[in-house]
Amino acid sequence: MDSKAFADEMAAQVAEFCQQFKDQPPAYSYIPLTEDAQRTKVMQARLWNEVRAAEVLGSWIKTTPERDVKATMAESAHEEFKHAALLEQVLRDKGVEPYDYEPLPAQAAMFNAFESQTGTVERMAAFPLAGEGVADFLIGLSLEPGTNLPEWVRSPYRAIHEDEEGHGSYPQEVLAKYASTPEQQARVRRAVAMSLVLRKEFFASVDRWVIEGKAW
């Protein structure tokens, strides 16, 4: 399959996955939350993601031969730390210790699965395309006017959304450029599917932890 058409198909798959959250946004998006104690829990979880994202991207730099992708990974890793700093400050202002948090098992598993990808196109597919694609879709949804997000939550995510939107089509461009063989495309398909399966479980786990008060 032509790699451009293939990249478009993968992006469309992620976009379709996102649609299920439009009418039923998860706790992860902050939208269904009504109490600050719930919101700070979600923010702690999402702060953990920012730091872990930086670690994963950084760990890939050396083993990514494509210099253009390598450079973007380095930039993104730096960006993730800026996002972390924003959330960290907001949590401190709310009187919450930002790092008093253990990742939910599904959350740790999701990032470990990203990290374990070894090829450039699988990495791009699992994390920037399918992982961050869904995350940024939900940020966009939560920032829409009329959602139940107080300004202290909205404000850091406005800045984060700007960064993420800025390189929204980047993973798709990498796939169009480098996912050219049937074998690569098959691996990318699996990486996208894996990422979405784990994302779903992560969101369900945040719902149970924050809304139902379970351990995870």
In whole angstroms, the minimum distance from the beta carbon of 6 to Fe ion comes to: 23
Q: Which is nearer to Fe ion, 50 or 88 (CB)?
A: 50
What CA–CA distance (Å, rounded) separates 27 from 48? 16
- By 3-state DSSP, what share of the chain in percent is helix, strand and coil, each rounded to 5? 75, 0, 25
Q: According to the binding rule CB under 5 A, does residue 80 interact with Fe ion? A: yes
Choose the binding region for Fe ion from 6-14, 24-32, 42-50, 149-157 (rule: CB under 5 A): 42-50
In whole angstroms, the minimum distance from the beta carbon of 101 to Fe ion comes to: 16
What CA–CA distance (Å, rounded) separates 161 from 139? 7
What CA–CA distance (Å, rounded) separates 204 from 72? 31
Q: Which is nearer to Fe ion, 158 or 214 (CB)?
A: 158
Number of residues that bind Fe ion (CB under 5 A): 4
Q: Which is nearer to Fe ion, 122 or 164 (CB)?
A: 164
In whole angstroms, the minimum distance from the beta carbon of 110 to Fe ion comes to: 14
Q: Which is nearer to Fe ion, 88 or 132 (CB)?
A: 132
In whole angstroms, the minimum distance from the beta carbon of 10 to Fe ion comes to: 18
Structure tokens at 128: 């920037």
Considering only residues 83 to 102 of the shown chain, the ones binding Fe ion according to CB under 5 A are: 83
Largest Cα separation within the chain, whole Å, is: 53
Q: Which is nearer to Fe ion, 166 or 182 (CB)?
A: 166
Read off φ and ψ for residue 137, nearest 5 degrees.
-60, -45
Q: According to the binding rule CB under 5 A, does residue 123 interact with Fe ion? A: no
Upper half-sphere CA count for residue 142 (Cβ side, 13 Å): 28
Nearby residues of 13 by Cβ (< 8 Å), 6 or more positions away:
192, 196
Considering only residues 150 to 169 of the shown chain, the ones binding Fe ion according to CB under 5 A are: none
Binding site for Fe ion (CB under 5 A): 50, 80, 83, 132
